[in-house]
């Protein structure tokens, strides 16, 4: 069935990373609280929307194309709008209206302005409030524009949200494409076959089998050198730190280096990209190569580790003369990092209330120093910072956990280079809850715009995604292709 669909729906995606500017930027008057009847429930805030309507078929015969809506992530809307070219490439075939909705407490969608990040202001930050926001916006669009079909898209946390939209609001969302969405890991209901940091290690080993050992020994040397006289100058020089290193900064420096390795594994794209930093093509291979070259020059694993980790923060231009590790990396309740800026605090809070994600590193199956992080430690941290504690039961009760057997029309895609795939849905659940595996794919690579250097596995994945969306919407995407489009179809 799927093979036949692929043959009929195979599409040619424009080989360009360019995403057009929004045709409209709007502010939607959104409820602060969807779940109470208190006086505050009547308060509203401005939620930012990006719309692109150039491909929308609002048809002369009364036909109206579907709404493609992206459920915003833990960051400013621009970051995801300009890195989700797939939606723009397939929109013409469906005559779709494109809409990106910014997540509350991120970007410019702040319920209480600068006070949003106070402990009191954060009380309305949750994924349940966020999905209710999306539902309000989608319902408004459906009614005001006579739209009858909606496809929801999202990657990473946005992918979790987009799956939840189909689960919680099936009357509003007809199809959901959830890319790199680690729902079972978040719910702690299924023990992954591989741990997050083990996959990062395997990515570096695939680049060169010597690299994990360099990283492991580099961390070991760092541990040992801080016990010796004069370590301050040595570590400061080796890692090119802007401020003189002190042993009190030790754990943060380790986190800074660990974060660099895992982020490069996440965004190990086959071409230069700036999604989470200015990085070259295949950044894991590039970082590994830099470490090997440093070993040939100095023979010092700690220096090699510093060089390899510095790639994430230094970017492709390599212009930084020194690193400020406290600006580059923020420690938080998410051991894989919370990013930087105000968004870091918002995500930190969510990880203190809703999400317990990646398992710690062990130095046994992975190349990183042991990291102790459990519910007790997290609770103490969260109580001290926000007066809240994680609830390990809440996610499995509210979000279907890892049991999607009663669900329908959800695509879960995962790339095997992405360490988050350890917590993803990796097998078909039923005929309409499908898992798509991308062998050479990093973090939601399939949602990015097509590129001439894309591996075949992501081309096939996108074609399958289009076929499923077309089937589940009951449409034929090929009906919207011109003869010129047909001449450019991808054939295998």
Active site residue 418: yes
Active site residue 46: no
**H or E stretch including 81?**
helix 77-81
> Which candidate in 443, 446, 450, 454 is catalytic?
443
Q: Is 209 in contact with 293 (CB distance < 8 Å)?
A: no
> Which candidate in 418, 421, 444, 454 is catalytic?
418
46 strand-pairing partners: 29
Task: Please measure the distance between the N-terminal and C-terminal CA atoms of the chain and give it in whole angstroms.
Answer: 17
Q: Is 134 in contact with 101 (CB distance < 8 Å)?
A: yes
Q: Is 368 in contact with 196 (CB distance < 8 Å)?
A: no
Can you spell out the DSSP letters for 358-417?
SPPP-SSSSSSPP----HHHHHHHHHHHHS----TTHHHHHS-TT--TT--SEEEEEETT
Token duo for residue 87: 């939606």
Active site residue 36: no
Q: Is 409 in contact with 175 (CB distance < 8 Å)?
A: yes
Phi, psi of 395 (to 5 degrees): -65, -40
Q: Is 240 in contact with 321 (CB distance < 8 Å)?
A: yes
Q: How far is CA 293 from CA 32, 128, 140, 235, 471, in A?
A: 54, 49, 57, 20, 51
> Which candidate in 79, 116, 156, 361 is catalytic?
156
Q: Is 338 in contact with 317 (CB distance < 8 Å)?
A: no
Active site positions, annotated? 156, 418, 443
């Amino acid at each position: 069935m799927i093979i036949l669909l692929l043959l009929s729906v195979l599409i040619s995606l424009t080989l360009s990373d360019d995403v057009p500017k929004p045709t409209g930027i709007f502010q939607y008057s959104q409820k602060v609280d969807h779940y109470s009847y208190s006086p505050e429930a009547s308060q509203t805030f401005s939620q930012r929307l990006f719309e692109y309507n150039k491909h929308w078929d609002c048809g002369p015969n009364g036909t109206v194309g579907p709404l493609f809506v992206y459920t915003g992530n833990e960051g400013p809307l621009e970051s995801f709008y300009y890195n989700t070219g797939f939606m723009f490439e397939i929109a013409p075939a469906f005559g779709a209206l494109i809409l990106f909705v910014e997540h509350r407490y991120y970007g410019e969608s702040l319920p209480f302005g600068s006070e949003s990040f106070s402990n009191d202001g954060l009380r309305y930050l949750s994924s349940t409030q966020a999905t209710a926001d999306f539902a309000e916006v989608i319902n408004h669009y459906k009614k005001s524009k006579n739209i009858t079909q909606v496809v929801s898209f999202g990657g990473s946390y946005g992918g979790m949200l987009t799956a939840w939209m189909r689960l919680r609001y099936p009357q509003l969302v007809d199809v959901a494409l959830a890319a790199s969405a680690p729902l079972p890991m978040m719910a702690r209901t299924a023990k992954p076959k591989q741990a997050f940091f083990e996959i990062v290690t395997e990515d570096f080993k695939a680049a060169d089998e010597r690299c994990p050992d360099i990283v492991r020994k580099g961390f070991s040397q760092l541990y040992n050198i801080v016990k010796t006289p004069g370590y301050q100058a040595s570590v400061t020089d080796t890692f090119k730190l802007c401020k003189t290193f002190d042993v009190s900064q030790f754990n943060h420096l380790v986190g800074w280096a660990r974060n660099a390795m895992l982020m490069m594994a996440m965004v190990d794209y086959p071409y230069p990209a700036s999604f989470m930093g200015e990085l070259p093509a295949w950044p894991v291979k590039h970082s590994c190569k830099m470490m090997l070259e440093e070993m040939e020059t100095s023979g010092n694993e700690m220096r090699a580790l510093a060089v390899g980790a510095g790639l994430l923060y230094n970017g492709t231009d390599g212009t930084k003369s020194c690193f400020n590790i406290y600006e580059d990396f923020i420690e938080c309740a998410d051991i894989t990092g919370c990013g930087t800026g105000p968004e870091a605090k918002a995500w930190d809070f969510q990880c203190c209330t809703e999400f317990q994600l990646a398992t710690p590193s062990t130095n046994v199956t992975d190349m990183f120093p042991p990291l102790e992080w459990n519910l007790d430690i997290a609770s103490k941290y969260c109580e001290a910072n926000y007066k809240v504690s994680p609830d390990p039961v809440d996610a499995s009760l509210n979000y279907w956990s890892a049991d999607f057997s009663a669900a329908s029309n959800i695509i879960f895609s995962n790339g095997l280079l992405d360490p988050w795939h350890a917590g993803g849905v990796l097998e078909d659940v039923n005929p309409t809850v499908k898992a798509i595996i991308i062998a050479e794919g990093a973090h939601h690579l399939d949602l990015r715009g097509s590129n001439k250097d894309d591996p075949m596995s992501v081309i096939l994945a996108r074609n399958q995604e289009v076929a499923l969306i077309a089937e589940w919407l009951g449409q034929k995407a090929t009906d919207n292709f011109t003869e010129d489009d047909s001449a450019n179809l991808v054939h295998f």
